[in-house]
Structure 1
Amino acid sequence: MGSCCTRWCSVYFVVSVTLAIMAISLAEHFISSKSDQDAISFAHEVSVNAPNALRRAGFNVMADLFQRSPPFFLPPQNSTLFAFKDSAIRNTSLPPLLLKKMLLFHTSTSMASMEDLLKKTQGSCIPTLFRHKNVAITKIDPGQRLVEIDHALISSPDIYLGNQIAIHGVLAPFSSLDFQDLRKGWNSVPPVSCRLNSGQYSASYEFKNTIGWNRIVQSLSSNGYASFSIGLHSVLDRILTDSMSYDSVTILAPPDLPLIGCPSFLLDRAVRVHVLPQRFTYKELTSLPARTSLKTLMSDEYLEIEGVPEFMSMLVVDGVEIVAPDISISEKFVIHGIAEALKMDELTTT
């Protein structure tokens, strides 16, 4: 009786161990298969879906970096990439190593849609992939659906929302990143203080922003005037300080602003000379008499209406043709596209 019991106990033990081993093996196989499937799915997102979405949004250089084989930059699963405009890369000569580090600095370690970002608090820290360096949400306005990360406006939200990665377009690289400093060494990038500073953006800001400057910046970017959009956004805080003296504007947007990257005071002057503190539709401008002077936001600088010459089809202002009238119109602003930047020679020599 005892030997029989012992024999059956031994058999039971062997069977139990065998079943346990099989269960563990099957579980490991299932986990491995699921992990492999997730990896394959993520690889397709990064190499196909995300680049296609970036290209449709006009971020061609970033799309190319993803589609290289092997990829130039491979973000981790469940991350958020803040993609910057083509001009931010093409206008620099960063070696590949520093470019890759710059991408790490613009990738968050958690995945967040625009809706997720709008729920955060101004001043919140966003950890990046590079050496535990943080960036901060420097401005946020759920009403206008405005979010700035380290003073870089999200101009193209939700370019791509996949299962494991989110991509948003920003007007320019994060402000704490200076290309000249970057060439000296990555440690020269200053740390960002992630503190609540809502006093900088509250009722006062809302009152000054009744014109809709953020809509203007976004409209310029989406209509092909990215360079001027970046310039305007860079000096917007200065413009807001005196915007209570007028309640509408006209933007004369050039296709390129050659002073991007120059000292801020020059950029401020260049932007202001392209903004009139009064709203003029194209029809209203054409109805003005020839040689009418138009005041700009640049102190003591005026533009002159020259009319529509016989050999041109569009209105000429201060020697430059308006080539894309009434690009964007609201009750508070009008945007016109012009052929080239105004008064560049005068601004850089005075």
Structure 2
Amino acid sequence: MAISMAGHFISSNSDQEAILFAHEVSVNASNALRRSGFNVMADLFQRSPPFFLPPQNSTLFAIRDSALRNTSLPPSLLRKILQFHTSTSMASMEDLLEKPQGSCIPTLFRHKNVAITKVDPRERLVEINHALISSPDMYLGNQIAIHGVLAPFSSVDFQDLSKGWEFVPSASCRSNSGQYSAFYESEDKVGWNRIVQLLSSNGYASFSIGLHSVLERIRTDSTSFESVTILAPPDLALLGSPSSLLDRAVRLHILPQRLTYRELASLPTRTLVKTLISDEYLEIEGVPDFISMLVINGVEIVAPDISISDKFVIHGISEALKMDALITT
């Protein structure tokens, strides 16, 4: 009798813990997601019953709304995506910063791993499968941690996932983390990871996502320059476009030299400044009488010098530069 009662007590205790955890996720965690702008993920957790409930003592890497809103995935496939973005152990940002670069993180989806592809404790940057953690420690509960990431862990286009999620490979872990780290540090002389993070935190999330999506190509081509000027538009309409078109659109908004607003404004009218697109330039149109800010290729710089370092400067512009407005020399 005593044994039966003890067994019943343990079962009730376990059930109560599960109920409390489900409440924590559906209320506290979803509210934290919503406050940080992850509304799609918050909605999934606030359903009754929840669309997806991570296990206790786990870590969820929440995907930005812009990567999920325009998808029409069936529920079963969306659950698999969420499983792939959930680690089987709980880790705060501090925990992740202490892990060696190249470490593997097991996920809930069929024992597939994701890898820590970038760790920079000084800049407090972590990338997983090349996706930057843009919103660390959004929620730290007793049994779950939630971080926001700029892009999905896989480079697979969500629209192609109807063919099956099974072909997404598990990340390969590297034991020689020192060599791995040196490789990525040598690629990031400009400070690209910091630029991506600053764009996201200053309200230019779509351009941040676009830049991050094509960053490997730009890094490969960036051996000939060591500083950049970023002309960040508030919205990048080409996010869902083919990668070659997106790459071209992003490069149009980057100059391979560091130019502050004062330096740009001091250039003579009709000066051409080089972009990252080979042999194509933007034209400095000066400061017209009817507005107070500098105009480049018909677009106004509305937020000059948002962020300045020795290697880069970021300016906010009123709208995206038009692809058909390029000047070829």
Q: Shared fold by TM > 0.5? A: yes
Contact 2:206 2:239 in 1 (8 A): yes
What 5-or-longer segments of structure 1 have no aligned partner? 1-20
- Structure 1 position 106 matched with structure 2 position 89: no
Counterparts in 2 of 1:1-350, with a 5 A limit?
A: 21-22=1-2, 24=3, 27-28=6-7, 31-32=10-11, 34-196=13-175, 198=177, 201-345=180-324
Check conservation: 1:181, 1:188, Cα contact below 8 A. no
Cα distance in structure 1, aligned partners of 2:308 and 2:6: 61
Change (3 A) 1:201 1:237: farther
Could you tell me the percent identity over the aligned residues?
Answer: 81
Determine if contact 1:122/1:196 at 8 Å carries over to the other structure: no
Measure how far apart 1:36 and its partner are.
Answer: 4.2
Structure with the greater alpha carbon radius of gyration? 1
Residues 197/45 of structure 1: CA separation in 2 closer, same or farther (3 Å cut): same
Unaligned 5+ runs, structure 2: none
Indicate how the Cα distance of structure 1 residues 346 and 265 shifts in structure 2: closer, same or farther if over 3 A, else same: farther
Q: Residues of 2 paired with 1:333 and 1:309: CA distance?
A: 26
- What is the CA-CA distance between 1:147 and the residue it aligns to? 1.8
Letter in 2 for 1:57: S
Counterpart of 1:155 in structure 2: which amino acid? S
Amino acid at match of 2:168: V
**What is the alpha-carbon distance in structure 1 between the residues aligned to residue 137 and residue 168 of structure 2?**
27
Residues 1:198 and 1:68: Cα distance change in structure 2 (over 3 Å):
same
How big is each residue's C-alpha offset from its partner over 1:103-122, in whole Å with a ceiling of 9 and x where there is no partner? 11111111111122222233
- The 2-side partners of 1:200 and 1:88 are apart by 32
Measure the CA separation in 2 of the matches of 1:291 and 1:153: 38
The Cα offsets for residues 208-232 of structure 1, whole Å up to 9 and x where unpaired, read as: 4233211110011112211211121
User: Retained in 2: the 8 A contact 1:235–1:267?
Assistant: yes
Q: Are 2:118 and 2:184, in contact at CA under 8 Å, matched by a contact in 1?
A: no
How well do the aligned residues superpose, as a CA RMSD in angstroms?
2.3
1:280 aligns to what SS in structure 2? coil
Pick closer, same or farther for the CA change 1:176–1:315 going to 2, 3 Å.
closer
Which deviates the most, 103-112 or 205-214? 205-214
Separation in 1, partners of 2:273, 2:152 = 34
Distance 1:333 1:183 in 2: 40
Q: Which amino acid aligns with 2:161?
A: L
Say if 2:107 and 2:113, in contact at 8 Å, map to a contact too: yes
Please give the TM-score of this superposition, normalised by the length of structure 2: 0.90
- State the shift of 1:193 in Å: 2.6
Q: Return the offset for 1:53.
A: 1.2
Q: Please give the per-residue CA displacement for 1:191-210, whole angstroms capped at 9, x wherever unaligned.
A: 43334464774335324423
Distance in 1 between residues matched to 2:23 and 2:71, nearest whole Å:
30
SS at 2:27 equivalent: helix
Alignment-mate amino acid for residue 165 of structure 1: I
Report the AA paired with residue 218 of structure 1: Q
Contact 1:178 1:189 in 2 (8 A): no
1:175-195 CA-partner distances (Å, limit 9, x unpaired): 244324311122232343334
SS in 2 for 1:168: strand
Conserved 8 A contact 1:176-1:190: no
